[in-house]
Chains A and B, each alone.
Chain A
Amino acid sequence: KAGVTQTPRYLIKTRGQQVTLSCSPISGHRSVSWYQQTPGQGLQFLFEYFSETQRNKGNFPGRFSGRQFSNSRSEMNVSTLELGDSALYLCASSPPGGEYTEAFFGQGTRLTVV
């Protein structure tokens, strides 16, 4: 069974640009969550989608948005990039049933803003 796939693995963007990251969950998983990992702040929850609906949201500005498609694939978008958005962005999917009894993580997308 394929794991969580995140694309691309690495990105370099210029301040002010926007970026879209993609996440394909494990087959059959309907919940997809996104996390930001930085050396200073650690792992922080961005948002969670379940059956195409945002179910839970962390404390990030509106420049961070996401969506989920009917096949459970998810995208995350960051507009007007700032230097502080440089981070490893991790996507996780959870088994059917809706609860967060276990989260499976992808390898992440490392975003560098210059």
Chain B
Amino acid sequence: AQSVTQLDSQVPVFEEAPVELRCNYSSSVSVYLFWYVQYPNQGLQLLLKYLSGSTLVKGINGFEAEFNKSQTSFHLRKPSVHISDTAEYFCAVSDPPGYALNFGKGTSLLVTP
């Protein structure tokens, strides 16, 4: 089964600065990839997904991610973060495509003034 590695457990960043949250998956075979956000005491909300097609995926709240098959990566980016972006972010792969999600351990994004 595919596994997902989120390379940073915590990312502190100042408000209005850019941010990149890194995610690598284990195989270059066909996959579906997702980024979810979790606010305290909440469930998961889908930010964006890659199923096929364009490798640059745009999501909600100004986030985007780039699928890189050769590097088996799916990094999440935002050009300018807000305090309200403080949350836990999870990268996930659907393996096999169309079935259950395997999640990374999560990256805690802390945005400070």
Closest to A48 in B: B100
A22 vs B104: C-alpha distance in the bound complex, in angstroms? 26
Interface residues of B in 75-113 (CB under 8 A from A): 90, 92, 94, 97-106
Contacts of B99 in A (CB 8 A): 48, 55-56, 100
Verify if B55 is at the interface (C-beta below 8 Å from A). no
What number of B residues sit within 8 Å (CB to CB) of A?
24
Verify if B28 is at the interface (C-beta below 8 Å from A). no
A43 in contact with B103 (CB, 8 Å): yes
Interface of A is mostly: strand
Contacts of B45 in A (CB 8 A): 105
B100 in contact with A45 (CB, 8 Å): yes
B100 in contact with A101 (CB, 8 Å): no
A101 in contact with B49 (CB, 8 Å): yes
A30 to chain B, nearest CB (A): 14
A56 vs B49: C-alpha distance in the bound complex, in angstroms? 21
- Encode contact with B along A93-111: 1 for CB under 8 Å, 0 otherwise: 0000011111111111000
Contacts of A45 in B (CB 8 A): 100-102
CB within 8 Å of A: which residues of B?
A: 32, 34, 36, 41-46, 49, 51, 90, 92, 94, 97-106
